[in-house]
């Protein structure tokens, strides 16, 4: 009858609504009473942080494991330092963990490093796009290695700078800049020759470099030097081919009617006849 009353009344511990097990207490409070002599938690002060806490362990000194570890480190500084060094050495020797890969995956793509399913595996790639991209990259690296083996630096016939002919024609003797200038001059000469043929004037295949070398790379109007390295630039001292008697006034396109002029003088002269035609081209 008494056990039935205890079960009906419930645990007599404060704040507990469980059924009583023995001596009017639930199973938890009953074990605490048998083990520690009291079912009420004891109020203590933490030896590390000084904060009060309630516990059923009568020999407890710290409110948590954190305070317990901090107190041990404060009382054992040498052992703490040794433990930190060992932990750092272990972390340094430890290899980085591989990316997670489930059993249903065959591995990680060689191109994008993404995991892929075995059924969609294409020889180590997650898709045909990644396979094609990797193949293109390998082909580029092979061609680059072959290019480096066959590469040879030569000097440009006009400006004298070093360039590699494998970037364009393998038989090129001019760098890209000089080749572009010569191409522009060739187009201009063809247009001028067609125009002069229509006017029945004399037309020769004039090489501007030969004219510049004949005049000593010096402007024949202002007599200042026109360096070879400024050829094709926008500098005022850049050498340009000038007609002594302009073509618009009936001048011929020949060595004796051409001279070296700087860019500034050539622009200022425009189509005005300035200078005297050479007796010997």
In a domain, 152, yes or no: no
In a domain, 154, yes or no: no
DSSP the chain: -HHHHHHHH---STT--SPP-BTTB-HHHHHHHHHHS-SSPEEEE-TTT--EEEES-TT---SSHHHHHHHHHHH-HHHHHHHHHHHHHHHHHSPPPPPP--TTEEEE-TTT--EEEGGG-SSS-SSHHHHHHHHHHHHHHHHHHHHHHH---EE-TTT--EE-GGGS-TT--S-HHHHHHHHHHHHHHHHHHHHHHHTT--B----HHHHHHHTTSB-TTT--B--GGGTTSS-TT-EEEEESS-GGGT--BSSTTEEEEEHHHHHHHTT---S---S--
In a domain, 128, yes or no: no
Where a domain ends, among 51, 68, 85?
Answer: 68
Instruction: Name the least confident of 65-79, 187-201, 246-260.
Output: 187-201
Average pLDDT for 265-277: 77
In a domain, 13, yes or no: yes
Pairwise pLDDT comparison (115 vs 92), residue with the higher score: 92
Number of compact structural domains in the chain: 2
β-bridge partners, 107: 116
pLDDT digits 0-9 by tens, 217-234? 999 999 999 998 898 888
In a domain, 56, yes or no: yes
Pairwise pLDDT comparison (84 vs 104), residue with the higher score: 84
pLDDT value, residue 181: 83
Question: CATH number for the domain including 262?
Answer: 3.40.1800
d(CA 95, CA 111): 22
In a domain, 53, yes or no: yes
Instruction: Name the least confident of 81-85, 189-193, 204-208, 234-238.
Output: 189-193
Instruction: Name the least confident of 107-111, 203-207, 209-213.
Output: 107-111
In a domain, 99, yes or no: no
pLDDT value, residue 213: 92
Where a domain ends, among 68, 91, 116?
Answer: 68
pLDDT value, residue 100: 56
Model confidence at 57: pLDDT above 80: no
Tell me the percentage of the chain whose pLDDT exceeds 90. Answer: 10
pLDDT digits 0-9 by tens, 235-261? 999 999 998 888 777 778 888 889 999
Where a domain ends, among 36, 52, 68?
Answer: 68
In a domain, 77, yes or no: no
Average pLDDT for 48-65: 77
**Domain range for residue 60?**
2-68
Residue-averaged pLDDT of the chain: 77
pLDDT value, residue 211: 92
pTM value > 0.75 = no
């Amino acid at each position: 009858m008494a056990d039935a009353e205890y079960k009906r009344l419930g645990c007599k511990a404060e704040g507990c609504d469980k059924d009583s097990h023995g001596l009017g207490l639930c199973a938890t409070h009953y074990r605490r009473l048998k083990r520690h002599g009291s079912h009420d938690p004891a109020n203590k002060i933490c030896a590390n942080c000084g904060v009060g806490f309630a516990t059923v362990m009568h020999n407890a000194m710290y409110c948590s494991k954190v305070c317990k570890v901090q107190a041990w480190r404060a009382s054992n500084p040498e052992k703490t330092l040794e433990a930190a060094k060992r932990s750092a050495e272990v972390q340094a020797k430890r290899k980085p963990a591989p990316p997670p890969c489930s059993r249903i995956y065959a591995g990680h793509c060689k191109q994008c490093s993404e995991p892929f399913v075995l059924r969609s595996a294409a020889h180590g790639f997650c898709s045909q796009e990644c396979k094609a991209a990797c193949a293109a990259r390998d082909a580029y690296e092979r061609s680059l290695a072959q290019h480096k083996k066959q590469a040879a630096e030569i000097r440009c016939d006009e400006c004298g700078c070093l360039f590699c002919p494998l970037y364009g024609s393998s038989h090129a003797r001019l760098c890209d800049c000089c080749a572009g200038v010569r191409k522009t001059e060739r187009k201009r000469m063809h247009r001028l020759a067609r125009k002069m043929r229509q006017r029945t004037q004399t037309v020769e295949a004039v090489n501007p470099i030969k004219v510049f070398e004949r005049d000593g790379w010096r402007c024949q109007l202002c007599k200042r030097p026109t360096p070879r390295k400024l050829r094709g630039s926008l500098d005022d001292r850049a050498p340009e081919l000038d007609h002594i008697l302009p073509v618009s006034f009936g001048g011929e396109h020949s060595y004796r009617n051409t001279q070296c002029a700087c860019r500034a003088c050539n622009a200022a002269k425009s189509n005005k006849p300035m200078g005297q035609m050479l007796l010997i081209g």
